[in-house]
Chains A and B, each alone.
Chain A
């Protein structure tokens, strides 16, 4: 690998270093160099959201970020959702509502839904549909996904009150 740049970053709370060519996307770097294959490649052009991650808390398509741009930043992927072996309420409710079939879009939906609930803990259906408009699903359809997000939001609000 010629012209590789060494990138030091934090992924899901862990310090990570990887070397990648400067024209490689963060999506490819996360999948092939860091081994986080929960980051999915759908379109590779920012239309489908399957590669969604957060960068310093901001939801982005990792296919539209260069790997070298992650230097010194904080990256969160779907692998960071479950804590201490405990699934995130969103993951629990996606399973409960069968809000997935082939699963390719699911990590992106989970990351985007988590970003939404951090900003708005009690979104209505319209808000959820707009917030997830950047995530495409070609098999389940969106209804179960929306209901799973609503149920997870409810769980999370309840857990917070406790």
Chain B
């Protein structure tokens, strides 16, 4: 196994393009090193993205935030402006593993590992995050909901890597929230995860985005659930409609964490709770 630490994303993409064997990207390594230990992967080349300057930064721009692919979750928590703008994204990233894992795991890694239950992914989707993807020949920007194509599968080509994740600047009276259900209080994988982002106008929801995790092969955006909220101030009827739309969008598996029926029902229950938190964070009064 060769280990490379390129200084730019372009150089990293060049290394990936040239490699004839099995090449893997290393961000925080919290998934890759486990797979390495288990013998699930046998890399010929590992490209460490942590020496790419841009991948290590959280930049605040006029358009919003750019979070480098190598920035660990622990640094998101310490970033006051990001925390204030997108509390739901930060709380979702904070749910990934222990403090030890937080010191290493990244948003881009959580996205590229493409687990259907990845906690940060629904929150990024609800917030309208985009992935800046660098390839050997071109750069492209892809909405986060389009990156994972199935469990463990992404839309990235063999010569591509995520350099950063962008989050827009939230409009006035915008709030987001993420809730997941696990049978323990810490250190577990989501049975269901729900992220909600709402923007209010005169006390009512003007626009909304609702995303679900762990109930389909990838995290999903649920437009019908968002429509249930628009124009309302989160009355009981709107919340019931939201719950029904979320449950209807579920296509989960049965496993030791939950049955199909349980996950489907739970998605609706959690959506109502997450919507109330997002609404309150946006300054809404119900």
Contacts and interface: CB of A to CB of B under 8 A. Distances in A.
Given A23-B36, A46-B97, 19 more contacts: A3-B1, A22-B1, A25-B33, A45-B37, A46-B30, A46-B100, A47-B187, A58-B103, A59-B103, A60-B100, A64-B33, A64-B34, A65-B29, A65-B33, A66-B3, A66-B33, A69-B48, A134-B99, A135-B98
Interface of A: 3, 5, 21-23, 25, 44-47, 49, 52, 55, 58-61, 63-66, 68-69, 112, 115-116, 130-131, 133-135
A114 B101 CA distance: 16
6 contacts: A22-B3, A22-B46, A66-B29, A115-B99, A133-B187, A135-B98
A66 B26 contact: yes
B3 A61 contact: no
A55 B29 CA distance: 14
Nearest to B72: A58
A61 B30 CA distance: 9
Interface of B: 1-3, 26, 28-30, 33-34, 36-38, 43, 46, 48, 50, 72, 74, 97-101, 103-104, 186-187
Nearest to A60: B103
Contacts, number: 83
Contacts of A3: 1-2
Given A22-B2, A22-B46, A65-B104, A134 B97 contact: yes
Contact of B103 (A21, A22, A23, A55): A55
Contacts of A46: 30, 33-34, 97, 100-101
A133 B184 CA distance: 11
A68 B3 contact: yes
A112 B99 contact: yes
Contact of A134 (B1, B48, B50, B187): B187
- Which 5 pairs across A and B sit closest by C-beta, in order of nearness? A134-B98, A22-B3, A133-B186, A58-B103, A23-B1
Contacts of B30: 46, 64
A130 B103 contact: no
Q: Name, among A25, A63, A69, the residue most crowded by chain B CB atoms within 10 Å (CB to CB).
A: A69
A19 to B, nearest CB: 13
